[in-house]
Amino acid sequence: MGRNSGNSSLPPSADTFTRPEKKPVPKSGRRRGGQPGSSGGGLALIECPDTVDDHLPVRCDGCGSGLSLADSTGFERRQVWDIPLVTATVTEHRAHRCRCACGTTSRAAMPEQVPGAPVSYGPHLRALAVYLLVFQHIPVQRCAQLIADVTGANVSTGWVSSVLGQAATLVADSLKLIRALLTLGHVLHADETTTRIGSGRRWLHVACTERLTLLKLGPRSRQGANALGVLPDFRGVVVHDCLALYDGYPDARHQLCGAHLVRELTAAAEDHPAQRWPVQVRWALAELNKQARKAREQGLSDIPPERALVYLESFHQGVAVGLSLHPRAPGRKQSPTRNLLERLRDRGTDVLRFADLPGLVPFTNNTGERALRPVKTQVKISGCHQSETGAAAWLTVRSYLDSARKHGLSAFDAIRRPSPATSGCPRSLWPTDQPASHNVTALMNAYSW
């Protein structure tokens, strides 16, 4: 088979992934910013403000008589959005002992949300500290300073560090539920990356879906991936980047990340500019992904054969041409291009599973990579954790918050709002006397597969 064999079928849109040339944009002559006549996005008056202040004239401009609200014939409205000045308040709880006429002395119990120490910080301050540490990536010292500046509570850095461990303990039962739901799901995203603890490098694993997240430290091995407690018993489709350790789960089906394959095909096209097969295979994958999205939007369980046939033929033909141009070298070690081609040939089903199940299996592992991104952000902003215990606590709370946010709950509400003690999950991170506006546990229990 010649070097140009099979290239005549390359479609005209084969430059899907090439960088477009930037053409100069003609100036419109308009000023920057909002244009005259645009609707704008500023504040608008609301019908039910929290507070209404009525301002009356001091006296009648005519006769000088006093005026009251009953004399009003209309008014001009203006609304001001602001926040109340945040100040820490001290509440003393007194559990009284009372003696009855019968001679019996009864003792009142302290409220559930009051800790056993004589003096302590309350649930809202603790929730704020965890929110700043885990979700806003603020370092411990700056977190203590922010709380002191904003609320007047002079918390110590040691206290700020301790609340993270408390929070991790309180959400442990919720993570058991998350782990069980991930194991029972149809599609799972798995990924791994490096992080730092002190002066050493550690590996971090994630198992997640569009609705749940689970993060955990572990070595870069199957044993490390097993530490999540999901993959050994998972029986659905796991989406990953083709790291060898994921091949150790034969009971699961696999989808190799299309974004990684596209990058490898782009590298092959740059390394071998005279060969057209990398561009053809890349184009076929991109077009199949478009057809999968279209089928999903139309509620179809499969891509119609007449839509998929030309792209499937282009994919397999391009792989065959590439294999003929890059024969195996003596020995085990092969070139990156040959390894890519053999993977596309031998694992074609795992490469194209997204096209077989367009309504269920995604083309890329972007969901898994997005779940790992906050860990990298944490290291860049706050620096690395100094102990494995602190890192594990941070990852535990982050898993809880990510899962709650995927169910429509804000990160701060997920920390401070209570939820009923159902399914063995904690009532909240720290019980308060506020009514629950959301129930994370119920949302997770209602998760539909």
pLDDT at 96: 94
Residue 82 pLDDT: 85
Given this model, what pLDDT does residue 435 score?
37
Q: Is the dihedral of CA 258, 263, 267, 270 positive or negative?
A: positive
CATH code of the region 169-254+366-445: 3.30.420
Answer for the pair 155, 447: CB distance below 8 angstroms, yes or no: no
- Mean pLDDT, residues 304-314: 94
Phi then psi for 204, rounded to 5 degrees? -125, 135
Cα–Cα nearest to 351, from 419, 294, 438, 289: 289
- The predicted structure's pLDDT at residue 13: 46
Tokens of 443: 């949302």
Under 8 Å between Cβ of 300 and 366? no
pLDDT attached to residue 9: 46
Instruction: State residue 289's pLDDT score.
Output: 95
User: Average model confidence (pLDDT) for the chain?
Assistant: 85
Strand segments (E) across 24-128: 97-99, 105-107
Largest distance between two CA atoms of the chain: 109
Secondary structure (3-state) at 213: strand
pLDDT band at residue 448 under the 50/70/90 scheme: very low
Name the pLDDT band for 83 (thresholds 50, 70, 90). confident
The conformation of residue 7, written as its DSSP 8-state character, comes to: G
Residue 15 has pLDDT above 60, yes or no: no
Chain centroid to Cα 282, Å, comes to 28
Average pLDDT over residues 313-342: 94
Model pLDDT for residues 282-299, shown as the tens digit of each residue:
999 999 999 999 999 999
pTM as predicted: 0.78
HSE-up (13 A, CA, CB side) for residue 108: 9
pLDDT tens, 25-79?
777 777 777 777 776 667 888 899 999 999 999 899 888 889 899 888 898 998 8
Q: Provide the percentage of residues in the chain whose pLDDT is more than 90.
A: 55
Tens of pLDDT, residue by residue over 241-275, are 989 999 999 999 999 999 999 999 999 999 999 99
> 151-187: per-residue pLDDT in tens?
999 999 999 999 999 899 988 888 999 999 999 999 9
Identify the residue with better confidence: 321 or 170: 321
Q: Cα(309)–Cα(302) distance, rounded to whole angstroms?
A: 13
Q: Which tokens sit at 211?
A: 């609705």
Torsion, CA 287, CA 356, CA 6, CA 340, rounded to 10: 90
Q: What does the alpha-carbon distance between residue 146 and residue 335 come to, in Å, rounded to a whole number?
A: 54
Q: Give the model's pLDDT for residue 156.
A: 93
DSSP labels, 307-362: HHHHHHHHHHHHHHHHHHHSPPPSSS---HHHHHHHHHHHTHHHHSHHHHSTTT--
Q: Is residue 394 a contact partner of residue 385, using CB atoms and an 8 Å limit?
A: yes
What number is the average pLDDT over the span 371-391?
A: 88
Nearest residue to 417 (alpha-carbon basis) of 444, 436, 394: 436
Angle at 186 between CA 183 and CA 187, to 5 degrees: 90
The residues, ordered by sequence, that sit 6+ positions from 92 with a Cβ below 8 Å of its Cβ are none
Please report the pLDDT score of residue 425 as a whole number.
Answer: 37
Q: What's the whole-number mean pLDDT along residues 131-142? A: 93
pLDDT tens across 181-213, in order? 999 999 999 999 988 888 888 899 999 999 999
CA dihedral 287, 292, 296, 298 (to 10 degrees): 60
395, 215 contact by CB (below 8 A): yes
Q: Can you read off the two tokens belonging to residue 135?
A: 């979700």
pLDDT for 237 equals 96
Confidence class for position 317, pLDDT limits 50, 70, 90:
very high
Q: Confidence band (pLDDT; 50, 70, 90) for 366?
A: very high
Q: What is the C-alpha separation between 129 and 124, in angstroms, rounded? A: 9
pLDDT for res 22: 66
Residue 214, strand partner residues: 207
Q: Which residues make Cβ contacts (< 8 Å) with residue 443, sequence separation at least 6?
A: 407, 408, 409
| The predicted structure's pLDDT at residue 146 | 94
Query: Is residue 218 within 8 Å of 227, Cβ to Cβ?
Result: yes
Rounded to an integer, the average pLDDT of 105-124 is: 87
The 10s digit of each residue's pLDDT in 406-439 is 988 888 888 876 443 333 333 345 444 443 333 4
Question: Domain residues of the chain, as ranges?
Answer: 169-254+366-445, 258-356
